[in-house]
């Protein structure tokens, strides 16, 4: 797995390995990635509610609500969009830029974590990805602070597009605790995530 992640990072940072070569190294991990379990409806973030009121066209279903079959072309979609948006948008908090705690929007130049996510999602939908395979997801990060990432659902597992790192990681390889995400069926609905990995790690550490 470390070899895979290093290859993806090198591709994103402009190393000589092509995106096709990076994709080929994911093949050996098909069927091995833990599934993310959900546990019923959750309250949508207030920022997402107000975003959908301002941009209703961004909160409707597009395409079949299934995981995407990962191939060379759509793997490169993920790589390019993640890299492009991470380079284009400069990080700034909502409080600094908009003078409010929560303001979700499509960024032109500056944005908070959720703004990166919304722009990546829009670009991938324009490339033909279905909304059910691109889920805005709320987590607690390594500092136990709220953070948003984009979760790409594929037949080889769920991958994380994140503004904090250039690598596209399998969800379970991130340091985050997963809280809730958009529903596969309805972009306006959210579901809670049953993330038991931390609990299992804690139990294993005291055995």
Query: Where is average pLDDT lowest: 4-8, 143-147, 152-156?
Result: 4-8
Q: What is the pLDDT of residue 23?
A: 55
Residue 118 DSSP SS3: helix
Ranges of each domain in the chain:
2-205
Q: Check pLDDT > 50 for residue 14.
A: no
Q: How far apart are CA 136 and CA 151, in angstroms?
A: 6
Position of tokens 């600094």?
96
- For residue range 16-53, list pLDDT tens digits in order: 233 444 455 455 555 556 889 999 999 999 999 999 99
Q: How far is it, in rounded angstroms, from Cα 193 to Cα 160?
A: 15
The contacts of residue 35 (CB under 8 Å, 6+ apart) are 157, 158
Q: Which residues sit opposite 149 in a β-bridge? A: 137
Percent of the chain with pLDDT over 90: 75
**pLDDT per position as a tens digit, 80-119:** 999 999 999 999 999 999 999 999 999 999 999 999 999 9
Task: Give the Cα separation of 27 and 43 in Å (integer).
Answer: 36
- CATH number for 2-205 (one of 2.60.40, 3.10.620, 1.10.10, 3.40.720): it is 3.10.620
**C-alpha span between 142 and 176 (Å, rounded):** 6
| Whether the model pTM is above 0.85 | no
Longest dimension (CA), the chain: 51
pLDDT of residue 18: 37
HSE-up of residue 63 (Cα within 13 Å, Cβ side) = 16
Mean pLDDT of 164-176: 94
Mean pLDDT of the chain: 84
Nearest Cα to Cα of residue 91 among 70, 115, 75, 69: 115
């Amino acid at each position: 797995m470390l070899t895979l992640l290093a290859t993806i990072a090198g591709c994103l940072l402009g190393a000589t390995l092509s995106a096709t070569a990076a994709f080929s190294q994911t093949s050996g991990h098909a069927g091995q990635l833990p599934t993310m379990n959900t546990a019923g409806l959750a309250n949508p973030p207030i920022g997402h509610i107000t975003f959908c009121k301002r941009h209703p066209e961004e909160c409707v279903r597009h395409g079949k609500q299934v995981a995407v079959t990962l191939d060379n072309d759509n793997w490169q979609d993920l790589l390019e969009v993640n890299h492009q948006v991470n380079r284009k948008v400069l990080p700034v908090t909502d409080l600094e830029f908009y003078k409010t705690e929560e303001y979700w929007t499509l960024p032109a130049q500056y944005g908070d974590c959720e703004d990166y996510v919304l722009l990546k999602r829009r670009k991938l939908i324009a490339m033909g990805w279905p909304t059910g395979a691109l889920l805005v997801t709320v987590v607690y990060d390594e500092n136990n602070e709220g953070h948003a990432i984009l979760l790409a659902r594929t037949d080889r597992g769920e991958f994380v597009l994140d503004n904090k790192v250039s690598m596209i990681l399998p969800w379970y390889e991130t340091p985050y605790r997963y809280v809730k995400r958009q529903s596969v069926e309805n972009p306006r609905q959210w579901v809670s995530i049953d993330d038991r990995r931390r609990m299992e790690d804690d139990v294993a550490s005291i055995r």
